[in-house]
Amino acid sequence: MGRRLYSALLYALSPLIWRRLRREHLPDRPRGERLGRISSYQDERVLWVHAASVGEVITARPLIRSLIDDYPEHRVIVTTMTATGARQVQTLFGDLVTHHFVALDFPGATRRFVQRLNPEIAIIVETEIWPNLIHACAMAGVPVAVVNARITERGFARYQRFPKLMGQAIRRLAWVGAKSAEDGKRFRALGVSARRLNVTGALKYDLHLDEAVFEAADALRETIGPRPVWVAGSTHEGEEVQLLEAHARVLARFPDALLILVPRHPQRFDEVAELCSDQGMSVARRSDDAVVEPGTQVYLGDTMGELMMLYAIGDIAFVGGSLVDIGGHNLLEPAALGMAVVSGPSLSSLGDVAATLEEANARIEVSSGAMLGETLVTLLLDDVRRDTLGRNAWAVVEANRGALKHTRDYLGRLIRARELHEPWPLMDDQPPGSQR
């Protein structure tokens, strides 16, 4: 499939696409952003970071911070595809960055978007290979870098089905910072030359732990008191039922135990609160500033941007999206806090990280709510094993830090080359913008 046929298909599917995006809208943002109708930044120096949703925003957090610090004369603009990603950007960075929703991958929309944004570089987090968007950058002479780049087996197979469409887009990338050697091999197989690719490691290991997070966690933990606390973060539909089953088993052994439950998507907060009540659990909601009473059994983390703080309160962390077929979420957030980490088996989105933690005796895998409950009881009864798991998890994070430095160095070369109007480094011969 070529780019013209791909574009025609997008236009044909546009009613479905717009319907899907209704839930990804913020009331104070014009829908025209999706068609590239944003303010013009022609008179400013712009560094553009695209992070599709919450997970990518969190992954990119240390990199975005470094761009703000390293290039104070530039405006850092962060785009997302989802509304939850937009809220996460606001929570983490406030007025330090500018946010827009990325244009849909229609030719005219992407061309308009790139022209008005006028960035010196486009930095894509993980894998958002949109052919028309990359083509628009190429035509404008904007280098496109993919950082923390990863391709799952499923994604790799999908890209191989459309070699002309995806190959053209991927060959136009100025630089790829692969998360792992396996990801690097897949990008090479798809057409990225060796001179434009480096294995930098995973940015997720370069977590910045703000002292304010620990201060807020300590204050909340003091109000909770000395009771067993476990945290389930980034949970999904179909998963909370299993987690509440696990918590019932914990309560049978530790009647004063508290579950801090943090659903992944804010539109499900009310639904999950109702589910907890239906299961006979006493619930307090963080959004209500509710006090955690001695009889509170579930504390619902129904706010944005506080997952790390809520993890820091607990004795054990369960990472969601792993007991249902989602692929798992960030195992390294609780690991960086030195917590015992538990997950389900669905970890296709972060297999290398999961394997590293497992090899280091830093993660326990469970396959059901019943098994999770038994595991939690065992860990709460065994301080030595729980502490050993936490120390091992922390050591894994510390040993694998460094991706941020490598990524900053390579992006700096691209930015300097653009400033000096020099050919892009790490390229075979000519910038993709000249490949008409």
Residues 28-78 have pLDDT tens digits of 889 899 999 999 999 999 999 999 988 899 889 999 999 999 999 999 999
169 and 57 co-located in one domain: yes
144 and 288 co-located in one domain: no
**Bigger pLDDT: 84 vs 253:** 253
Write down the mean pLDDT value for the chain: 92
Active site residues: 56
Residues 354-368 have pLDDT tens digits of 999 999 999 999 999
Average pLDDT over residues 392-412: 94
Confirm if 78 and 87 have CB atoms less than 8 A apart: no
In a domain, 74, yes or no: yes
In a domain, 217, yes or no: yes
222 and 321 co-located in one domain: yes
240-253 and 269-278 are packed helices; what angle lies between their axes, rounded to 10 degrees?
A: 40
pLDDT of residue 428: 41
Listed residue (436, 432, 435, 422) closest to 145, CA to CA: 432
175 and 44 co-located in one domain: yes
Cα 215 to chain centroid distance, Å, stands at 24
Q: Does 436 score more than 80 pLDDT?
A: no
Q: Does 219 score more than 80 pLDDT?
A: yes
| Alpha helices for 172-268 (secondary structure H) | 181-189, 211-224, 240-253
Overall domain count for the chain: 2
406 and 288 co-located in one domain: no
Polymer length in residues for the chain? 436
121 and 163 co-located in one domain: yes
273 and 412 co-located in one domain: no
In CATH, what number is assigned to the domain containing residue 91? Answer: 3.40.50.11720
pTM for the predicted model, two decimal places: 0.75
47 and 129 co-located in one domain: yes
36 and 146 co-located in one domain: yes
In CATH, what number is assigned to the domain containing residue 228? Answer: 3.40.50.2000
In a domain, 365, yes or no: yes
Average pLDDT over residues 205-226: 92
Q: Which of 100-114, 208-222, 241-255 has the lowest mean pLDDT?
A: 208-222
| Alpha helices for 262-381 (secondary structure H) | 269-278, 307-311, 332-336, 351-359, 369-381
14 and 72 co-located in one domain: yes
Q: Does 246 score more than 70 pLDDT?
A: yes
81 and 102 co-located in one domain: yes
- The residues, ordered by sequence, that sit 6+ positions from 339 with a Cβ below 8 Å of its Cβ are 311, 314, 315, 316, 317, 390, 393
pLDDT of residue 427: 41
In a domain, 341, yes or no: yes
104 and 223 co-located in one domain: no
Domain that includes residue 256, residue range: 211-399
In a domain, 436, yes or no: no
Residue reference for tokens 């303010």: 39
pLDDT of residue 39: 94
